[in-house]
A = this chain, B = another copy of it.
Amino acid sequence: MNNSLGFVDEENAAMLTDLYELTMCASYFDNRKLDPASFDLFIRKLPPNRSYLLFAGLEQVLRFIERMKFTEEHIRFLKSQGFKEDFLDYFRNFRFTGDVWAVPEGTVVFPNETLIRITAPIIEAQLIETFALNTVNLQTTIATKASRVVYAAKGKPVIEFGLRREHGVDAGMKVARASYIAGCTGTSNVLAGMKYGMPVFGTMAHSFVMFFSNEVDAFRAFTKTFPDKSTLLIDTFDNIKGAENAIVVAKELERKGFKLRGVRLDSGDLVTISKKVRKMLDDNGLSYVPIFASGDLDEYRIEELLKKGAKIDSFGVGTKMGTSADRPYVDIIYKLCEKMNEKGKFQPIMKLSEGKVTFPGRKQVFRLKDANGNFVKDVIALEDEEINGEPLLVKVIERGRVVYDFPSLEEIRKRALENLSMLPEKYKRLRNAAKYPVELSPKLKKLIRDLRLKLKKIEGLGTD
């Protein structure tokens, strides 16, 4: 790796793929199977306790599709792996020429709903698979998890704090992005602040307090540097003594015309301690000083804390949200749904293997709403069906060119918050939520029935 940190260079994105994508493409090329096909990217089932998914990651997938290419270094490496010259020549001039439809980021979606649909010559469609899955898996997993944490916090700000235990540097960035889309107020990740323009938050570590000869000196030193935006970590030795010291320093700040921005609790029984600290602050005329809590939090813990009356004003949530620790992935897949037959006509395709059935044909997802805009149910239909609901998939790439006006991160976040607010409460409970109804349209049902019969017949015929 020549001394490097081993970060992935954008120029190498096309190679960030499973070898089988390339071997399949080589064989398609070798066998002159270059016809177009359509693939659906979707999530097969909900992760445990989740009752919906918050879709994120589309922007990076589209940018990848638009720009993916193979460099001479890639070609040389693939040659060393046994790929043939004529196929590699094709790679030299590779450019995606197909069409892509997708659900906008920040949309609440459900299992089996097409999230991205790609129609392109088979090799082009195949080459997108690994990167698209990787990108949507991470961001949708995290956006879904983070939306639950934000829901549990009932309007109190949640800051994403997990960089140190997220999975590498790209995850550090994409988790910040996805959490922000899902309603987090900001992140601790400085680079995410710089690159995405999202708010960045930080306080202090225990080591800062320990580096001074005593706690109050540490607090004084910190507030000297940040008189108008210090949040003091008060649990290094003892939360209550820490609160006393914070009060001393808050009063000193007041005399200089400043206000302490907050105190932070990071350990112990947060319910009891936050109540005590709140009272201490209030008794000293510091009711304006909010209490910020962190330490092993997730949606379950936050819900419990608030239920028990913890006096916490905002939350720093790290590892468990940043890795989606109780289920660090979604069952995301990318499946062939139609191919062109010998007569040049598109023909719907369906897979029947055990527990892995897929839906055939080019589909659209329709969302039915009540008079107030609340989500009532979704219908998965064939693309050309007329269903009385909002179609979720929009055209984003046409003949290889992005025709989508990329929303800003703020716009995506706004869409997510609106979508979540239109999803009725019973579908949002952290545990045992109701099952949101997703139906298949009459035409799609009929197509599935017909194909099932046909497949059974073919199976009966054996292997040729």
Which chain A residues have a beta carbon within 8 Å of chain B's beta carbons? 1, 3-10, 12-13, 15-24, 26-28, 30-31, 33, 37, 39, 60, 63-64, 67, 73-74, 77-78, 81-82, 84, 122, 126, 129-130, 133-135, 137-138, 161, 163-175, 177, 188-191, 193-196, 200-208, 210-212, 214-217, 221-222, 224-226, 229, 235-238, 241, 244-245, 248, 267-268, 319, 323-325, 327-330, 332, 335-336, 339, 349, 351-356, 455, 458-459, 462-464
Partner of A172, one of B16, B190, B216: B16
Residues A206 and B351 in contact in the complex (CB < 8 Å), given A81-B193, A200-B19, A248-B463: yes
Q: Which residues of B contact A328 (CB under 8 A)?
A: 167, 323-325, 328
Alpha-carbon separation in the docked complex, A238 to B458 (Å): 12
Alpha-carbon separation in the docked complex, A325 to B212 (Å): 40
Partner of A18, one of B18, B122, B161: B161
Partner of A216, one of B78, B126, B190, B464: B464
Closest Cβ of chain B to A119, distance in Å, is: 14
Q: Which residues of B contact A458 (CB under 8 A)?
A: 214
Asked if A164 and B137 make an inter-chain contact with CB atoms under 8 angstroms apart, the answer reads yes
Asked if A190 and B351 make an inter-chain contact with CB atoms under 8 angstroms apart, the answer reads no
Closest Cβ of chain B to A205, distance in Å, is: 6
Asked if B5 and A13 make an inter-chain contact with CB atoms under 8 angstroms apart, the answer reads yes
Asked if A63 and B3 make an inter-chain contact with CB atoms under 8 angstroms apart, the answer reads yes
Alpha-carbon separation in the docked complex, A261 to B254 (Å): 76
Residues A211 and B351 in contact in the complex (CB < 8 Å), given A8-B170, A225-B27: no
Asked if B163 and A226 make an inter-chain contact with CB atoms under 8 angstroms apart, the answer reads no
Alpha-carbon separation in the docked complex, A135 to B170 (Å): 11
Q: Which residues of B contact A189 (CB under 8 A)?
A: 16-19
Closest Cβ of chain B to A187, distance in Å, is: 8
The 7 lowest CB-CB distance pairs between A and B, nearest first, are: A19-B202, A168-B170, A167-B167, A20-B202, A133-B164, A27-B225, A207-B336
Chosen A-B contacts, 20 in total, with CB atoms closer than 8 Å, are A1-B195, A1-B196, A5-B63, A12-B194, A13-B169, A16-B173, A16-B189, A17-B189, A18-B161, A18-B189, A20-B188, A20-B202, A23-B202, A23-B225, A27-B204, A129-B164, A207-B336, A211-B336, A245-B463, A248-B463
Alpha-carbon separation in the docked complex, A166 to B141 (Å): 11
